[in-house]
A and B are shown apart, each in its own frame.
Chain A
Amino acid sequence: MNILSRKEKEELRQVLMPLVDDLHRVALSFCHDENAAEELVAATVGKACESYRSLKDRSRIKPWLLRILSNMFISQQRTKARHPHVEYDEIENDKQNQFSLFEQISQPFLLWWGNPEREIMNKFLDEDIQKAIESLPAEFRIAVVLSDVEGMRYQEIANILQIPLGTVRSRLARGRSLLQKKLWHHAQDLGIILRKAHRHETIQTQHSTH
């Protein structure tokens, strides 16, 4: 049943091969591991071959492949159980969507002479940011990667994942919030930012000396 005809296979090959680099790049952004990314691409292609006949509009092959890739990634992550399925609601403006690294590090009374937010950001290595992305549960990681790493618009992401625009927005908000929280903890671990209690004391001291 699943075996493609010679003609279908040739057709799939022609549209798929130019997209392999794209799939590979997105897979790498999802898992940041060469072997895992290759496996993800292979699983995606396998699934694409199996269900190619169900693809009605063949001009939409790219979002279709990216949807398979995303779903494959989600199920792989669940199997690995490193990120067991997290219960989350998709309500917009949820309080948990609101963690802001900026609000944590901005120091209003220092604004006159310097830009601490920018300086702190410069201290993060690409590796730090990549690790923060990797810490995100799959659904949020996908939203952040497609939007911020790949540079896609909400509508494109909604088409790929077949979810409403509002869901794209809320997943992205939650993903960014979690990402910034991770960076905040990481910055504290690295000593880029003083721990809160300590920092508070420092601020008090600086205040009293002025």
Chain B
Amino acid sequence: MKQSKRSIQPISCEEALSRVFDFIDDHLRGKARIELEHHLETCRHCFDRVEFERLLKSRLRKLNVNVHSQKVRKRVETLLDQF
């Protein structure tokens, strides 16, 4: 394990920040992800940035509310009948 950790190329904060959204959107894979995770273990600033973006994203997700409107369903039914 130690050996593999040592072989991880350090990345700059700028590079790390360019990967933040792919990371929080779960689109970062392989080496790119490992490098970023390693950077986050050692850089408080980038770690906090990731946490912040996650928090904001979760606030947007919470705006998603289930809807069930009889009025809209009726309107759609009526529309379908007209065609």
Interface residues of A (CB under 8 A from B): 2-4, 9, 12-13, 16-17, 20-21, 24-25, 28-29, 38, 41-42, 45-46, 49-50, 93, 100-103, 106, 108, 111, 115, 117-118, 121, 124, 126, 129-130, 133, 144, 147-151, 153-154, 169, 172-173, 176, 180
Contact = CB atoms under 8 A, between A and B. Distances in A.
A25 B64 contact: yes
B68 interface: yes
A198 B73 CA distance: 52
Nearest to B63: A149
A23 to B, nearest CB: 9
A41 B74 CA distance: 12
Interface residues of B, number: 36
27 contacts: A2-B83, A20-B72, A20-B73, A20-B76, A21-B69, A24-B72, A28-B67, A38-B69, A38-B71, A41-B72, A49-B80, A93-B18, A102-B53, A103-B49, A115-B48, A117-B48, A117-B51, A117-B55, A118-B51, A121-B52, A121-B55, A121-B59, A129-B60, A148-B60, A151-B61, A169-B22, A172-B21
A17 B76 contact: yes
A98 B80 CA distance: 45
Contacts of A24: 67, 69, 72
Contacts of A28: 65, 67
B4 interface: no
Nearest to A128: B59
A133 to B, nearest CB: 7
Contact of B80 (A2, A13, A41, A102): A13
A124 B77 CA distance: 39
B32 to A, nearest CB: 14
Given A42-B76, A173-B21, A126 B83 contact: no
A98 B60 CA distance: 19
A180 B55 CA distance: 13
Given A13-B80, A21-B67, A149 B48 contact: no
Given A102-B52, A172-B21, 17 more contacts: A2-B83, A4-B83, A9-B80, A12-B80, A17-B77, A28-B67, A41-B75, A42-B76, A45-B79, A106-B48, A111-B48, A121-B56, A124-B59, A126-B63, A149-B63, A153-B26, A169-B21
